[in-house]
Structure 1
Amino acid sequence: MSMHDARGPYGETFTLQNVVSNNIADINVFNEPGEKGGDAGAHLVVGSEIVNGMVTTSEIATTDLHFFYGTFRAAIKVTEVAGTCSAFFWYFNDTQEIDIEFLSAQFNKDNGTFPVNLVLQSSESSEAGFDASNTKDFRRVNLPFDPTADFHEYRFDYLEKEVIFYADGKELARMTGSSVPTGPGHLLLSHWSNGNPGWSRGPPKTDATTIVSYVKAYFNSSMDSRQADFVSRCTDPAAEGAFCDVPDNDPTYFFTYQQNMTNNQTTYLDDENAAGCVGFWWSFMLGATLASSAWAIGL
């Protein structure tokens, strides 16, 4: 990506080498160190060395593009190295985008200031040169914890007329109006820098790593086949068991393991074998791969 496309003094080059998988060492213990030592998860690296005018960066994205209304959650430990942007976001195009972004240069451990930037990219932000900071769909919220010290669950709920943002199950902000997206898109996690003094700053003086422990997506699919499945299966929304609770901030809970919650759903393992392969699924989850859950909201 050229510096023009990256909108900064440096370009960005996303490389596979900057996405490092560190699977859990013990498949029965979720919060133990990884096989390579240190925190288990997908390590997203931004390099400190400039290569041909570009910063080496990292990104993971789903290949499916039918993620519609739903709740989207990721456990992330953000880098403490100044000069990068760590992002968890939903994307359709440059004017329909839901962002949770951490700018490490904004963190101040001395006074306990740890902001997170919550954004709906829209036509308004496009007209402002994609600087959403002065639009109505931008919030900078100070977190009540240090996001670089441990993993925390960050979440956004994409609904028909509003988007609600959370950290560890506590609401941070909600946005409504014409900037709320109106169609399906896909999920991404990225860690980047382009030297833009108004946003990422940097590049970092040393290699910077943000770590993702898990991603969970419970959503309505825009696929006709999935919608037809829903109509045929959900004949009585008021019936017992028609709705499934999704617990907040629980790293070990996946619908894949719950009996009768993933019937006819696309999962990594078939329903019959999923419950007996919990450990292997955890290992797969932490292997630099986004796990799309069962279509849990409404389907």
Structure 2
Amino acid sequence: MDMVGHVRCFVAVAEERHFGRAAARLGMAQPPLSQRIQRLEKELGVRLFERTSRQVTLTRAGALLLGEARALIAGCDTFTASAARIRDGHLGLLRAALPSGIGGETVAAILAELQEHHPGLEVELHELSTSDQLARLASHDLDAGLIHHPCDVAGLELGPVLRCELGVLLPPASPLTARDEVPLAALTGHGLVLFPRADAPALYDDMLTTCARGGYTPGLIRHGQGDSFVRGLILSLNAVAFGPQPSRPTVGPPSPDVVWRPLADAPLAWRYSVAWPRDRKDAAVTAFADATPKALSRTTRMSDDLPPRPLHLRPASEYWL
């Protein structure tokens, strides 16, 4: 028996004190309403109404149960409304991640976008490498993430791919700082500072492959991620690093010690997209998938990767060719 539906009928009749008016209020015919009241009385084992040809009055049992009936309906309505808000992404918990290197302005813009349009959504945001994100997405410990391409996206759905052109960060003593743009081959003789391979193995290998095809094979590779640490390695090792054009002329805190130049023919780029498990696309994930590209486009030099490049699978990874 639909207990809540039958209790709604009981409350309507109790408040209207008339079966005809109660039926009209509930949008149903009077005979089915009378049948529901009878079934409810049978189920509860008590008589709820005294009926005469002129009036309907509550029994003592009906009067005692009316308050609890109203509370039951209110609780059910609250439960249904909360479920609808969760379904629409206004309540609930979203576990999401961004890779290192995403600027604070972008992080703030993503959270502000979510707060504006989904104020009841609790966002648990992590800074995780692409490899860590893929592992947590596979184990369902993460609902959505912003990943670097290329990577293995088996079992995932992807949002639009965004592209950010990379230039080269040079030590100030390098003669290449005099150029307006730098070919990859001209970097010969400089070491390379790169993110740890474990963070995104396919991307790491793809970048080194692109460098080799462009005539640059670094003799020395050091690993680092933080802006200040990378800058220190560039200065101390006569090395270079690849990165997007900074909003200031340097990496990290203002300093004239590192010089950014674009790469000739734009051979290198970061490519990102929001990813989520193929069986998980609720309103909270949709909100993150919508907010993140907007924030990236607004706060960085990223743009849609058009025309889209096909993905070609290779063992254990994916490569953009």
TM range (shorter): under 0.3
TM-score (ref. length: structure 1): 0.24
The structure with the largest helix share of the pair is: 2
Q: Which has the larger radius of gyration?
A: 2
Of structures 1 and 2, the one scoring higher in RCO (CA 8 A, sep 6+) is 1
TM-score (ref. length: structure 2): 0.23
